[in-house]
């Protein structure tokens, strides 16, 4: 072969060699030098790519000379390496904090933020509300669209009420499903107070049905995934301590008549002044005090090459503003991670333990302080008008049974405590099976608590006088056992340029409850025959089983399709109706990856989403609801075995009882502008709930026997808007703001029972003898059912004069109408976080609009009859509303008491400074909570869960000093 031919052949073969070159190598984690499974290796600008195996190895063919290889993996910074003929190219990837933020949880798994197809929100620890945060949910208030957080009351240890979108049910639970580190909690005994807020890393709220459907039978009210903090591999010892000291004071009181005002009113009306005393007592001042809060948190963490550890210890002590109310909690949080078998096996053990003690004050003192005669003293030495030194009203030598009790006497005569010991554990195993892309993930969880409570009322008190004192004791346990497992499979389908993921698994949970209780009769643990009062035993047990699966496709990094299905069974339903099938599907178009967006100078993110799903509801109370019969006014039937009474079940109930089902549609858009300096999302949903579970009379028994039945349907819809802006972003100065706005509405569309028979349903109790809120087709479930008040030309209500709605010249029940509602039309939140070097400042505003409260405090007291015409020789007090209404008789169902309750609250504000040192950083802060409320509502607080304002335990204003340090 001559030389010219050789040269010609070489030039002919070289281009073919360039096209057919192969390269291989290993992709490892820079932090610990461990191989990365599933890392993506792609020739830039093409669909030619592969993924690394268990050992982090890859092999790729057909790489043109001068091409760029792109190495990427979730949570790591992308690395690009030019190909110049190498046969081996190794990549070492560094963790990227901004990319780590893009990892988001979904039901039974995780994904990237850009691949989320459903409506969900993640709130991380750097976004939480700060200060004297005692209960976990308080961190979320005002932080996420579609998530409403309302403090149930100001009582210590009283956790918040959390609602995800408008409630879809009437009688069943409206609480979301809480999942802590992979363990779904018992929806009837979630007890978020057993979690130390300092140990929580993030909340992920799954809002629409396409996201929650994989949890099937308990997902209609949304799912809240709670992740606790864990240690990091290859990290130094880190020790952090924080202490917070708070002072709590009530900043508002119910406006009542002073002693002088009551005397003046009695004189004006010509009442018997001899029934008034000569004291001047502010009873609300007497029952309230300055409360205190002390919180201590210590965390220790360390990471080795294949092991990480974090230990958190916490102590909380809180004295409430109502005398006698307090709460204390000691917590332990342990997280241990171990990698083994050449990084193929990852074991994660988490445990949360809590010792809680709660002291309950007599809440009746709040209402009594409003109506007790302010002309009377707190204490008296007169034996004819005092018990145990407290002034009380007497009639014929005995306390007046109809008169209110001395508020301070109520507080000091009661000792009521509850101890709760809780431990929650989970062992998660994640194993990379010897099939490329196949991973097993399993959980063995255990959630257990024991409680012991007692309540003792002294006989030498007004409240204990008539039954010779009272004592009650109860103790028991709650146990939640979980076992689940799933297989996750990931594969890049090169032929269609698609990332494919599949999940299939099953779950089993057992919930056990046992309660023992004993009460005294006439102050004794023996009955009238001298026999011991037996201990009552209330057992409970129900089980859930689920089989679930999910498929998702990321097609050309442009279109994401996802679908899930769950087949669930609950022992609460009859064998014929025990299993239900739930599912959801969603899709997203990542317009960000289209050329017109990538070439845009201001659009950095654009994604359209849509989904549909069906979920269920099984949290209905009784363990055997399909055969349990309830008889109003009677105790449930039971049999006695020795000294123990066992409740029984009878077969007359609704054997065909089945799931509530909620079908939900959701569409959304995610936006980002100016390199994500401004981001936002908008979601709209429509939801239909059918076969509502509620107590109704069975057809054969009239109103005698009530059972759970599938009665009626509801529709709800909403719009959710969330916006975040990085106003300033620099090395020393950063300022971020965020806002969210939610519009919700819900309507009852049907209240027919089985065979379309109408049933009489009670609605929500208003505390006024009958229901002020009653369900009706075409109305919001929280609507008030009232008479329309008639007013004079000056706007003053006319006593006992109402609108004759039906024109029959008779005012009766037929003239009551649905008027206003307690559910808000909209609620919103606004947050600001600013730091300049070591100085930081943040605040959260929160509010609601379009809601109304029924002021039961005014309606119960503010009439002249209530003050002066009592069946005894005493007068009571009233709110100052009586001077406005001039009502003589109670007008309980007048719309006069339905008051607008829009509000804006400065929920939380913090300023602080961090002193940096060589060995120790010291963090100082001052935080105020519940700092002010802007509202036209004339009651104690416009924020009332359920809309009935009836002697609410005041939410106090708190000022908290914080001091912490971190050892380097």
Could you give the CA distance from residue 11 to residue 164 in angstroms, rounded to a whole number? 68
What share of residues in the chain are helix, strand, coil (percent, to 5)? 15, 50, 35
**Per-residue tokens: 746:** 């819900």
Query: What pLDDT score does 752 carry?
Result: 78
Residues 21, 85 contacting (CB under 8 angstroms): yes
38 Cβ partners below 8 Å, 6+ apart?
A: 51, 52, 73, 437, 490
DSSP string, 418-466: EEEEEEEEEEEEEEE-SSTTEEEEEEEEEEEEEEEEEEEE-SSSTTTTT
Low-confidence stretches of the chain (pLDDT beneath 50): 5-20, 97, 100, 629-636, 649-653, 699-704, 760-769
Query: What pLDDT score does 703 carry?
Result: 41
Handedness of CA 178, 183, 187, 191 (dihedral sign): negative
% of the chain with per-residue pLDDT over 90: 66
**Per-residue tokens: 496:** 């269609």
Tell which residue, 742, 744, 750, has the closest CA to residue 686: 744
**Per-residue tokens: 308:** 């990480």
Could you give the CA distance from residue 564 to residue 804 in angstroms, rounded to a whole number? 54
Query: What pLDDT score does 408 carry?
Result: 97
Question: Does the fold of domain 100-228 match that of domain 3-97?
Answer: no
Where residue 865 falls (left for φ over 0; alpha for ψ -120 to 50; beta otherwise) is alpha
CATH architecture of 100-228: Beta Complex (2.170)
Instruction: Parse the chain into domains and list their residue ranges.
Output: 3-97, 100-228
Query: What pLDDT score does 3 carry?
Result: 53
**Per-residue tokens: 295:** 């919180």
For tokens 């706007």, name the residue. Answer: 795
264 Cβ partners below 8 Å, 6+ apart?
A: none
Confirm or reject CATH 3.30.70.100 for domain 3-97, answering yes or no: no
Query: What pLDDT score does 37 carry?
Result: 79
pTM: 0.87
Residues 637, 689 contacting (CB under 8 angstroms): no
Residues 508, 484 contacting (CB under 8 angstroms): yes
Q: How far is CA 132 from CA 97, 359, 816, 933, 956, in A?
A: 29, 19, 45, 19, 12
Query: What pLDDT score does 648 carry?
Result: 53
3-state secondary structure 345-411: EEEEEEEEEEEEEEECCCCHHHHHHHHCCCCCCCECCCCCCEECCEECCEECCEECCCCCCCHHHHH
How many helices (H) does the chain have, and how many strands (E)? 11, 53
Could you give the CA distance from residue 296 to residue 315 in angstroms, rounded to a whole number? 5
Burial 62-71 (b: 16+ CB within 10 A, else e): ebeeebebbb
């Amino acid at each position: 072969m001559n030389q010219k031919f050789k040269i010609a052949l070489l030039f002919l073969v070289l281009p073919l060699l360039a096209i057919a070159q192969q390269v291989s190598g290993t992709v490892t984690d820079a932090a610990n030098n461990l191989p990365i499974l599933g890392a993506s290796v792609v020739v830039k600008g093409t669909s030619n790519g592969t993924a690394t195996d268990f050992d982090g190895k890859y092999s790729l063919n057909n790489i043109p000379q001068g091409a760029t290889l792109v190495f990427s993996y979730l949570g790591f910074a992308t690395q690009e390496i030019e190909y110049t003929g190498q046969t081996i190219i190794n990549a070492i990837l560094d963790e990227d904090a901004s990319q780590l933020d893009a990892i988001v949880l979904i039901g039974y798994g995780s994904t990237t933020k850009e691949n989320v197809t459903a409506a969900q929100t993640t709130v991380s620890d750097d976004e939480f509300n700060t200060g004297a945060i005692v209960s976990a949910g308080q961190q979320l208030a005002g932080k996420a669209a579609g998530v409403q957080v309302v403090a149930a009351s100001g009582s210590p240890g009283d956790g918040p009420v959390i609602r995800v979108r408008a409630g879809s049910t009437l009688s069943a639970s409206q609480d979301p499903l809480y999942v802590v580190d992979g363990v779904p909690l018992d929806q009837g005994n979630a007890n978020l107070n057993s979690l130390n807020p300092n140990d929580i890393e993030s909340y992920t709220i799954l809002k629409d049905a396409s996201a929650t459907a994989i949890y099937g039978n308990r997902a209609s009210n949304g799912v809240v995934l709670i992740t606790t903090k864990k240690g990091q591999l290859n990290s130094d010892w880190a020790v952090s301590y924080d202490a917070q000291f708070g002072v709590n004071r009530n900043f508002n009181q119910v406006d009542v008549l002073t002693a002088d005002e009551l005397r003046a009113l009695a004189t004006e009306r010509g009442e018997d002044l001899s029934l008034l005393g000569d004291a001047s007592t502010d009873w609300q001042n007497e029952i309230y005090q300055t409360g205190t809060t002390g919180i201590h948190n210590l965390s220790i963490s360390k990471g080795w090459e294949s092991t990480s550890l974090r230990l958190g210890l916490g102590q909380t002590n809180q004295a409430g503003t109502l005398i006698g109310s307090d709460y204390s909690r000691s917590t332990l949080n342990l997280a241990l991670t171990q990698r083994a078998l050449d990084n193929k096996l990852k074991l994660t053990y988490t445990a949360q333990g809590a010792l809680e003690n709660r002291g309950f004050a007599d809440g009746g003192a709040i209402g009594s302080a409003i109506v007790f005669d302010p002309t009377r003293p707190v204490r008296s030495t007169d034996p004819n008008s005092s018990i145990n030194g407290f002034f009380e009203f007497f009639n014929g030598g005995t306390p007046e049974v109809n008169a209110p009790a001395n508020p301070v006497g109520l507080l000091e005569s009661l000792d009521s405590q509850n101890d709760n010991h809780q431990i929650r554990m989970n062992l998660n195993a994640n194993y990379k099976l010897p099939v490329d892309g196949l991973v097993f993930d399993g959980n063995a969880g255990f959630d257990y608590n024991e409680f012991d409570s007692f309540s003792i009322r002294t006989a030498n008190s007004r409240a204990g006088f008539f039954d010779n004192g009272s004592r009650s004791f109860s103790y028991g346990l709650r146990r939640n056992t979980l076992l689940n497992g799933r297989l996750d499979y990931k594969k890049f389908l090169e032929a269609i340029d698609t990332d494919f993921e599949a999940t299939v698994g099953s779950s089993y949970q057992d919930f056990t409850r046992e309660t023992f209780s004993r009460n005294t009769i006439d102050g004794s643990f023996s009955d009238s025959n001298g026999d011991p009062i037996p201990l009552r035993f209330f057992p409970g047990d129900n089980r859930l089983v689920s089989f679930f699966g999910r498929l998702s496709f990321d097609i050309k990094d442009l279109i994401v399709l996802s679908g899930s299905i769950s087949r669930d069974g609950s022992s609460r339903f009859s064998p014929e109706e025990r299993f239900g099938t739930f599912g959801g599907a969603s899709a997203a178009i990542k317009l960000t990856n289209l050329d017109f967006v990538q070439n845009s100078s201001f659009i950095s993110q654009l994604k359209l989403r849509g989904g549909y799903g069906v979920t269920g509801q099984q949290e209905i109370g009784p363990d055997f609801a399909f055969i349990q019969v309830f008889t109003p006014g009677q105790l449930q039937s039971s049999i006695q075995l020795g000294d123990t009474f066992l409740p029984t079940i009878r077969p007359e109930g609704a054997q065909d009882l089945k799931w509530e089902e909620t079908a939900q549609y959701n569409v959304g858009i995610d936006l980002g502008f100016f390199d994500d300096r401004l981001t936002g999302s908008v979601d709209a949903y429509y939801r239909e709930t059918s076969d509502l579970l509620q107590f109704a009379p069975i057809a054969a028994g009239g109103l005698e026997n009530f059972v759970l039945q599938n009665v009626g349907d509801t529709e709800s819809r909403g719009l959710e808007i969330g916006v975040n802006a990085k106003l300033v972003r620099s090395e020393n100065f950063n300022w971020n703001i965020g806002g969210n706005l939610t519009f919700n509405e819900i309507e009852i569309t049907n209240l027919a029972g089985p065979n379309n028979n109408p049933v009489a349903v009670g609605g929500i109790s208003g505390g006024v003898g009958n229901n002020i809120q009653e369900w009706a087709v075409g109305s919001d479930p929280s609507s008030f059912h009232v008479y329309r008040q008639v007013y004079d030309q000056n706007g003053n209500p006319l006593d006992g004069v109402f609108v004759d709605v039906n024109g029959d010249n008779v005012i009766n029940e037929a003239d009551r109408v649905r008027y206003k509602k307690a559910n808000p039309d909209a609620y919103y939140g606004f947050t600001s976080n600013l730091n300049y070097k070591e100085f930081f400042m943040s605040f959260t505003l929160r509010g609601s609009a379009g809601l109304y409260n029924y002021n039961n405090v005014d309606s119960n007291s503010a009439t002249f009859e209530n003050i002066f015409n009592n069946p005894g020789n005493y007068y009571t007090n009233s709110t100052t509303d009586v001077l406005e209404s001039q009502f003589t008789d109670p007008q309980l169902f007048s719309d006069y008491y339905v008051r607008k309750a829009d509000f804006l609250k400065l929920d939380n504000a913090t300023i602080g400074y961090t002193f940096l040192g060589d060995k120790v950083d010291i963090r100082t802060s001052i935080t105020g909570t519940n700092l002010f409320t802007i509202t036209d509502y004339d009651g104690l607080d416009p924020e009332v869960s359920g809309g009935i304002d009836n002697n609410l335990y005041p939410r106090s204003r708190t000022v908290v000093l914080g001091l912490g340090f971190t050892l380097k």
